């Protein structure tokens, strides 16, 4: 015997006395606020990373590295001024700043062989050339997973996979 639509509705309402529409309205009202709160939280963490990167103490790179970087820069046809500095507080080189780019190298870079230094500087100068050096938080206390997460603006998948990054 087939049940009619009314029978299904009565059976469902017996299982769900509040009704699906009542709950969905509450969830639908809260969801944008939860999303906005999560987005603002992640953007704030990104801003803190930017601030942290801009305040890292650094000294100018040795003249030999500066001259080598100038040669590479002219080979890439980069006319923009680029600061190349070294810092004790980092373990990996990175570039930040779009208007005033700054390449930060670890202190150990002074002991790198010529080929490794060339590869690293070319990579960092490529960021300057493409103006995509908006990645200072790689060395921030929050790490790269938060940049990825903030770009997705609180989507649940980056949060799930952030441990893999």
85, two tokens? 């500095």
Checking if the pLDDT of 156 tops 70, the result is no
Residue of 144, 98, 108, 104 whose CA lies nearest to 124: 104
Higher per-residue pLDDT: 121 or 158: 121
Claim: this prediction has a pTM higher than 0.75: no
Of 15-29, 47-61, 79-93, the poorest mean pLDDT is in 15-29
Give the class (CATH, top level) of 56-134.
Answer: alpha beta
For the four alpha carbons of 78, 82, 85 and 89, in that order, the dihedral sign comes to negative
Q: Is the distance from CB of 98 to CB of 134 less than 8 angstroms? A: yes
Looking at residue 40, what is its pLDDT? Answer: 87
pLDDT band at 72 (very low <50, low <70, confident <90, very high): very high
Q: What is the pLDDT of residues 127-138, one digit of tens each?
A: 898 887 654 444
Looking at residue 8, what is its pLDDT? Answer: 56
Residue of 148, 130, 53 whose CA lies nearest to 92: 53
**In the chain, domain spans:** 56-134
Residue of 104, 103, 91, 92 whose CA lies nearest to 128: 103
12, two tokens? 């469902």
Checking if the pLDDT of 19 tops 70, the result is no
Distance CA(32)–CA(90), nearest Å, equals 38
Residue spans of alpha helices (H) in the chain: 5-15, 20-54, 63-75, 114-130, 144-151, 156-161
Mean pLDDT across the chain: 75
């Amino acid at each position: 015997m087939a049940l009619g639509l009314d029978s299904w509705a009565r059976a469902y309402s017996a299982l769900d006395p509040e009704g699906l529409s009542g709950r969905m309205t509450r969830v639908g009202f809260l969801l944008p606020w939860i999303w906005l709160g999560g987005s603002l939280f992640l953007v704030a963490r990104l801003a803190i990373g930017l601030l942290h990167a801009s305040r890292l103490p650094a000294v100018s790179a040795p003249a030999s590295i500066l001259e080598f970087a100038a040669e590479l820069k002219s080979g890439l046809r980069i006319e923009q001024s680029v600061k190349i500095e070294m810092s004790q507080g980092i373990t990996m080189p990175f570039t930040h700043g779009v208007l005033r780019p700054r390449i930060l190298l670890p202190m150990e870079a002074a002991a790198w062989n010529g080929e490794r230094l060339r590869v690293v500087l070319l990579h960092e100068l490529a960021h300057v050339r493409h103006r995509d050096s908006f990645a200072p938080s790689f060395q921030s206390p929050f790490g790269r997973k938060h940049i990825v997460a903030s770009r997705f603006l609180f989507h649940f998948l980056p949060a799930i996979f952030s441990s893999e990054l």
